Amino acid sequence: MRFFTAGESHGPQLTAIIEGLPAQMDLTVEMINKELARRQGGHGRGRRMQIETDEVVISSGVRHGKTLGSPVTLSVVNDDFKHWTKIMGIEPLGEDQDPADIKRQITRPRPGHADLVGGMKYGHRDLRNVLERSSARETTMRVAVGAVAKKFLEELGIQTVAHVHEIGGVKIDPSSYEDLTMEQLREVIENDPVYCADPAASKKMVAAIDDAKERGDTIGGVVEVIIEGCPPGIGSYVQFDRKLDSKLAGAMMSINAFKGVEIGLGFEMARLPGSQVHDEIQWDEENGYTRKTNRLGGLEGGMSTGMPITIKGVMKPIPTLYKPLESVDIDTKEPFVATIERSDPCAVPAASVVAEHVIATALAQAIMEEYRSDTIDGLKKEIDAVRQYVKEF
């Protein structure tokens, strides 16, 4: 399974093409739109979420609610494009038009964004050419693709959920959700304003977001993705580029503004002795091999163990501030106070949704690299056979 996304933040639409999905898998617009709506939610989002109501169009690869095995094309129209047609139009400028006359031209790079380095790399003197694609608006299609991947995983008995672990220094109490099933955890999260499973921490997170907004500042946080039902042995120890933890970590780091990844106990392992890090192995006839604990986050030697996979991502504060930082104009080389684009004081709740879908996509790709079938039913049989084999090993 491979995919590409295309489109600019204020362009006419965003597009993704997915190739390699098995045939006969259920897939509808409603499945994807539900996840897109969650990406636009969460306390702390800004005006763009009120302007756009993201709804997907499936224009190939699906017939009567079932995948065909051919490439699936997804697109989301940017409703706001009607206000940007002259600024973002694709037609060449007329002979009498000066590029400098284009409205909203940007020569002042914002600290923390791709503006300056992207302009250097691609030779853009108007930095809008950079920010339009580097914008987190692109994660719309990452979620759309991930919604398809989540459906694929569900067909194989694999469940995913993501939640907010920390915002602005306010941390969740793990005991608030450790006894919940995946379904219960998802229900709690989807009814919480910051997608947090701890009601007490959630209230403090909301207050922290409101405080940051009043100060003209932004705050970041930590999100966690949990995956249950992944069979043992996905990934490999034989080559570095086949390790599943590497693929999942890379996927998490590909999300805009993410600057760190932890698997299982993560960085806490550096402060603990080995006896409090590694997971003892046990076996019983009903479950086969399991671990007494899950400190390594369901991954050993670059492979899934069959235990729940737990992976956290660290999102930095959004760099677009209403209390702007200093920068330098690339034309005049004069210092200035950075310009302000639309900004959210905190996008960590929405980022948790993106993280879930990006990780689901990476896992789906890893599974399809190892177990290839032209139909979803054929793939189910392969995975079921693997589960039975490892139980009896």
pLDDT value of residue 12 = 96
Domains in the chain, number: 1
Report pLDDT for 220: 96
Q: Which residues contact 336 (CB under 8 A, 6 or more apart)?
A: 108, 326, 327, 328, 329
pLDDT at residue 51 tops 70: no
**Considering Cα of 206, then 34, then 222, then 291, what sign does the dihedral take?**
positive
On the question of pLDDT at 295 being above 70, the answer is: yes
State yes or no: pLDDT of 95 exceeds 80: no
**pLDDT band per the 50, 70, 90 thresholds, residue 99:** confident
Give CA–CA dist 42/362, Å, rounded: 24
Output the pLDDT for position 338: 64
- Mean pLDDT, to the nearest integer, of 290-318? 97
How high is the mean pLDDT of the chain? 93
Under the banding of pLDDT at 50, 70 and 90, the label for residue 50 is: low
Q: What is the mean pLDDT of residues 98-103?
A: 74
Question: Is the model's pLDDT at 176 over the cut of 70?
Answer: yes
Q: Rounded mean pLDDT of 218-227?
A: 97
pLDDT at 81 over 70: yes
**Greatest extent of the chain over all pairs of C-alpha atoms, in Å:** 79
Mean pLDDT of 194-221: 94
Q: Which residues contact 222 (CB under 8 A, 6 or more apart)?
A: 164, 165, 166, 312, 313, 314, 315, 348
Please give the full DSSP string across 34-62, using - where no structure is assigned: HHHHHHT-STT--THHHH----EEEEESE
CATH number at residue 49: 3.60.150.10
Least confident of 8-12, 319-323, 342-346: 319-323
- What average pLDDT does the segment 266-274 reach? 97
Which two structure tokens, joined as six digits, stand for 248?
Answer: 């999942």
Q: Is the dihedral of CA 19, 24, 30, 35 positive or negative?
A: negative
In 45-121 the beta strands, taken as DSSP E runs, fall at 56-60, 62-63, 66-67, 72-77
Q: Which range marks the domain in which residue 108 is found?
A: 2-392
Q: What's the confidence (pLDDT) of residue 36?
A: 95
For 330-370, the pLDDT digits (tens) are 999 999 886 555 568 899 999 999 999 999 999 999 999 99
pLDDT for 97 equals 75
CA geometry: angle at 383 spanning 382 and 384, to 5°?
95
The reported pLDDT for the residue numbered 287 is: 93
Mean local confidence (pLDDT), 29-56:
83
Separation between Cα atoms, residue 190 and residue 38, nearest integer Å = 8
pLDDT tier for residue 372 given thresholds of 50, 70 and 90 = confident
Q: Which pLDDT belongs to residue 250?
A: 98
pLDDT in tens, 111-129: 999 999 999 999 999 999 9
Residue whose token pair is 């469940």: 159
Supply φ then ψ for residue 4, to 5 degrees. Answer: -130, 150
Show the tokens assigned to 6: 């295309």
- Residue 31 vs residues 38, 151, 322: alpha-carbon distances, Å: 12, 8, 36
